[in-house]
A = this chain, B = another copy of it.
């Protein structure tokens, strides 16, 4: 049941994403330049990295609203005045953090390419999703929990992203049904039931950590559960 997918296991995936972190933050800088008064890129990248980390850390404990900019100032060791020359406003900080996550996800959650069989393609997508949400757990948690506080546009953008994932899964299921690999009736609903199994990993990771279940463990088990559900669907 070990994956015959395009993945070389989680550690390699983790290293790759982390090594590109500065590039991702540079792109965030580029997209929000007008809002950032400091102009020296190397300085900005270093500071933004710290600001994003601490914001996610504090917000995920008490909520973004509850985090005062003063709290953030103390946590990062950057004074209020200085901080505001990087973030412009608290709302803009939110926007930058969302951009950050989207940049990372866009660069990593790529299509399988060489994989052909519907089942293999599905497995790959499920595993990659678990991997990326493991690397970026604080961001996914934040995005999920805070989305209802966003303004209309931002919220709808987030929801659209969510639905895209679900749609991707549904499409893969459709492929499988067309090739008589999965005996699934309603692929849309089935995809909707699979998605919470992906979200489970970043929403309740503490629970699995406490039980000693690691990323690859979870991916293996979750994929097996889904496979069983897809196979057994014939009997319904």
Contacts and interface: CB of A to CB of B under 8 A. Distances in A.
A207 B233 contact: no
B231 A235 contact: yes
A35 interface: no
A142 B207 CA distance: 21
B221 A228 contact: no
Interface residues of A, number: 39
A66 B150 CA distance: 12
Contacts of A160: none
Interface in A172-208: 186, 188-190, 192-193, 196-197, 199-200, 203, 207-208
A233 B232 CA distance: 9
B222 A233 contact: no
Contacts of A231: 228, 232, 235
A192 B204 CA distance: 10
A228 B226 CA distance: 9
Nearest to A163: B207
A197 B225 CA distance: 13
Nearest to A236: B224
A166 to B, nearest CB: 9
Given A193-B197, A228-B231, A228-B232, 20 more contacts: A1-B236, A63-B63, A63-B65, A63-B148, A66-B149, A188-B211, A190-B225, A192-B207, A193-B221, A193-B225, A196-B197, A196-B199, A196-B200, A224-B236, A225-B229, A225-B233, A226-B229, A228-B229, A229-B229, A231-B232
Interface of A: 1, 60-63, 65-66, 145, 148-149, 186, 188-190, 192-193, 196-197, 199-200, 203, 207-208, 211, 213, 221-222, 224-233, 235-236
